[in-house]
Amino acid sequence: MIVFRCSAVLLAVAANGVLLAQGPETPPFHREELSVALRDGVLHVAADCSETRPCKVRFGNTVQLIKNGGSVKASGSHSGLVLIYVEPSGRLVAGSTLELVCEGCRYERGVSQFPANAIPLFNWAVIDGKFSASGGADYRAEMATKNVASGEGLMATENEGTTTLGIDPALVSMHVLTPPKTSASACSVGEFSFDSDYYYVCVAANKWKRTALSNF
C-alpha cells in the first residue's frame, strides 16, 4: 500500500489500485491566521501571532513576519469605521477618521479607505465611541499574486512588494537636461540633449557630437 499526505487527509492506495482515504491527520506544519476578536470593548488583532509562531504576509517577493498582535480602543463618542491592515513593512495598522488608542500597532489618522499598497484585514464599525458588537467585514484572502512584466524598453525593480517600472537606458535614449560643456563631457551611448542652438548626441562613452539648429 502506498501512502500520500494531502493537506489534512491521509490518502492510501491499495495494491489493487483502489484509492482509500483515512484521516483527518494532524498537518505537518502550523499556519497562524491574522485573526480579530472583540473582547470587553477592545479589538484584539493577530493575538495568535508570536515569536515562535509568527504570522506571515507577502508583499511581492518579500515575506514579512508578524510576531506580536495588537489591540485597538475607540476614543471619544463619535461613530465611524476602523480599518485594520498590514503595511509593507509588516506592521499592523489601525486607520480611521476617529480617534483611536492602538497598542502593539500603529494608529493612522484620517484613513477612510484601505491604502493601495497595504494588505486589508478587517473593518469594524464604531457607534457612539464603542465597537459594534455585530462584528465587522473580513477582507483576508487565502492566497493572492500579482505579475508585472516589463515590455521592450522598460525595466522593473521590486522593493518591499512595490514594483517600479522605469525606462531601460540600454534600449531607450535618455534626455540629459543640461547640455554638455565639451565634447568630452561624461555621457553614455544614446543620451541626447539640446539648447537653443544645438542638438547633442552621445556617440560613445564620454564623447558628444552636435549639430546646429536652424529655421526652416
Reported as a single tens digit per residue, the pLDDT across 98-107 is: 999 999 999 9
Phi, psi of 6 (to 5 degrees): -125, 110
Separation between Cα atoms, residue 161 and residue 94, nearest integer Å: 20
The 10s digit of each residue's pLDDT in 6-25 is 444 445 555 555 554 454 44
Separation between Cα atoms, residue 91 and residue 68, nearest integer Å: 9
Neighbours of 210 (CB within 10 A): 16
Closest CA to 130 of 200, 60, 80, 56: 80
Average pLDDT, stretch 20-41?
Answer: 64
Phi, psi of 206 (to 5 degrees): 60, 35
Q: 213 falls in which pLDDT band (50, 70, 90)? A: very high
Residue 93 reports pLDDT greater than 60? yes
Residue 3 reports pLDDT greater than 50? no
Q: Are strands 62-66 and 92-96 parallel, antiparallel or unpaired?
A: unpaired
pLDDT for the residue 65: 93
